[in-house]
Amino acid sequence: MIKVSGLNKKFKNYQALNDISFSVRRGEVVSIIGPSGSGKSTLLRSLNLLVKPDSGQLTIGDETVDAASLSHRNTTRFRRQSAMVFQHYNLFKNKTALENISEVLIYGRGYRRDEARDRGMELLTSVGLAHKADAWPITLSGGQQQRVGIARALSLEPEALLLDEPTSSLDPELRRDILNLIASLAERSLTMLIVTHEMKFARDISQRIFFMEQGRILEQGAPDVLFDPVTENRAHRFLHEFA
């Protein structure tokens, strides 16, 4: 479903992504962990071409792009393959919860206004927020805003969902809520890449965990292997410090 090979990204002199290669199967859930600044966000953003890679090939679903030959046309097509969920929700502040979804469908996917509204309501209902359709983002709790963010991402019917620290801005009591929602998506066999510091969550829902450091995937494996105390490696020491 996702295939990355030879992905590199430099910011000025800093190699934020250093020759990254991996594949993710359809329906697989992969959590990405690692210290701050290790390139986790840059990796996700590269997959959505929010960051333009310096080199490498990316495949999501049946679309492939080469960083060396990005055009407006293939960038737009490739972006449609995935959708992002952000730490700070990134909702349009001057649009209601419903409009945050429906406008994306109208302008991004060519829906008619009434269709977009119906689909938006369906999605808000699915994340338990039908009653907040006309609310402004600022009047919603962080957890509710993130639900809208997730509903909006799902509205795009992406082949892969990319979540960048989806619970890091939330109070601990609201985190569980969003983690449960994400876990329910995992059960529906959505292909997901999740950057997270929630180690227990990562362990529970992921088929694989990637440990990143200094722009590289240093370790990867099934949670049981990576979390096994017998496995003495950098990832394990990191997990220990964190968990």
Interacting residues toward Mg ion by CB under 5 A = 40-41
| Integer CA distances (angstroms), 55 to 3, 4, 58, 120, in order | 14, 11, 10, 37
Q: 128-153 burial by CB neighbour count: b if 16+ within 10 A, else e?
A: ebeebbebbbeebebbbbbbbbbbbb
CA distance 23 to 51: 19
**Residue 16 in contact with ligand ADP, rule: CB under 6 A:** yes
CB of 38 to Mg ion, least distance (A): 8
Output the smallest distance, CB 128 to ligand ADP, in A: 29
Q: Does 40 bind ligand ADP (CB under 6 A)?
A: yes
14 counts as binding ligand ADP under rule CB under 6 A? yes
Nearer to Mg ion, 101 or 163 (CB): 163
Residue from the set 7, 24, 42, 198 that interacts with ligand ADP by CB under 6 A: 42
Are the C-beta atoms of residues 20 and 43 closer than 8 Å to each other?
yes
Query: Is 166 a residue that touches ligand ADP (CB under 6 A)?
Result: no
- State the number of binding residues for ligand ADP (CB under 6 A): 11
Q: Tell me the β-bridge partners of 23.
A: 3
Residue 41 as a binder of ligand ADP (CB under 6 A): the answer is yes
Inter-residue contact 24 to 193 (CB < 8 Å): yes
Is 242 among the residues that bind ligand ADP (CB under 6 A)? no
- The residues facing 213 across adjacent strands are 216
Which token pair is 227? Answer: 């979390």
> Based on CB atoms, which residue is closest to Mg ion, 98 or 162?
162
Cα separation, 220 vs 26, whole angstroms:
18
Residue number, 164 or 219, with CB nearest to Mg ion: 164
Options 5, 18, 19, 37; binder of ligand ADP; rule CB under 6 A: 37
Position of minimal CB gap to Mg ion = 41
Question: Which residues contact ligand ADP by CB under 6 A?
Answer: 11, 14, 16, 34, 36-42
